[in-house]
Structure 1
């Protein structure tokens, strides 16, 4: 005769079986009642397109920097930089200033690392850098000041900006809490490791 299951084990098995039914999994229930759950992913991968859509919501953006430059930013294009494990954002810029005879166009290219922010359950941009600033015409004489303005904007715009937010159910199963671990930038997306909390 099989000894009766302890109350704790019985609750665990009921939770596991309920989760199987809720998830609509058609595998035999015996497979669901094991101590490891093969259908819990060990990672999530979200696409460059998802990051693009998240960043796109921030633009167009306009700001006066140091009371000298009026800067308008638009048309962000997100790139993935697997070699440095960073994300890039290329922006069209339009600058106006009393120092310039007329507004000029340019391009700012920024890059940022990614980190997980637990309170918001989001993968966010951290420590953005200005990688390149290119401006037209006579604005080149003010490249140093424009670079400084771009650095201020990068910090204001992108620091802690969420590019992907996990739903609560993505980080919990059968009463066990999970959390993102290592974040890896790939050529076609961003892979986030999922580990038990």
Structure 2
């Protein structure tokens, strides 16, 4: 109850300050021009997530000296109906046990969460959704599944896709933090709430 009263009094103070700034200026202009108000949400784009994930690739790893795996060309897709982000990766597999290199792709999806320590929205608990291996490569789907699971748990779990600047989460000595994260068709909306 005290917290609500404090929040209301802060808002009243800020509105009064805007009004005092001058009658020639509209309240909307005051809110965006003079005071760097904390909005009730931030939205960042699919492209920003794409750029963040892309920094992790290409990726190369030897697995138990049997397989050499290369991952490249991540493609990020937003899944608003599941409130998840999907990442599709091309996979190239070479092994002395295989007659020729194997190519395919797999898709994983992840929920998003806020990590307070790094002030970042991160991929959380990604899981493999599908493995696509064509022709003779289908025989290696099990190995690619293992690689995909490894990438999901070790490479992309808790990987930051958007980091807040300190000034985005503080105003007039009041600290704010991200709340509910919602995947939209055109971006990711992060609610901002008072701590």
TM-score by length of 2: 0.80
Residue of structure 2 in register with 1:184 after alignment:
182
Residue of structure 1 in register with 2:125 after alignment:
127
Residue of structure 1 in register with 2:6 after alignment:
none
3-state SS, counterpart of residue 52 of structure 1: helix
Task: Extract unaligned runs of 5+ from structure 2.
Answer: 1-8
Any conservation in 2 of the 1:87–1:113 contact (CA below 8 Å)? yes
For residues 57 and 186 of structure 2, the distance between their equivalents in structure 1, rounded to whole angstroms, comes to: 23
Residue of structure 2 in register with 1:105 after alignment:
103
Residue of structure 2 in register with 1:80 after alignment:
78
Residue of structure 2 in register with 1:6 after alignment:
none
User: RMSD in angstroms over aligned alpha carbons?
Assistant: 2.7
Residue of structure 1 in register with 2:155 after alignment:
157
Any conservation in 1 of the 2:169–2:177 contact (CA below 8 Å)? yes
Aligned counterparts, 1:15-94, within 5 A: 39-94=37-92
C-alpha displacement at 1:161, in angstroms?
0.5
3-state SS, counterpart of residue 150 of structure 1: helix
Q: State the structure with more CA Rg.
A: 1
TM-score by length of 1: 0.79
Residue of structure 2 in register with 1:4 after alignment:
none
For residues 142 and 94 of structure 1, the distance between their equivalents in structure 2, rounded to whole angstroms, comes to: 11
- Larger deviation: 167-176 or 93-102? 93-102
Which one of the candidate residues 115, 118, 126 is aligned to 1:117? 115
C-alpha displacement at 1:82, in angstroms?
0.6
C-alpha displacement at 1:38, in angstroms?
10
Tell me the matched-pair count. 174
Any conservation in 2 of the 1:89–1:110 contact (CA below 8 Å)? yes
- The change in CA–CA distance for 1:42 and 1:120 in structure 2 (over 3 A counts) is same
Runs of 4+ in structure 1 deviating by more than 3 angstroms, as ranges, are none
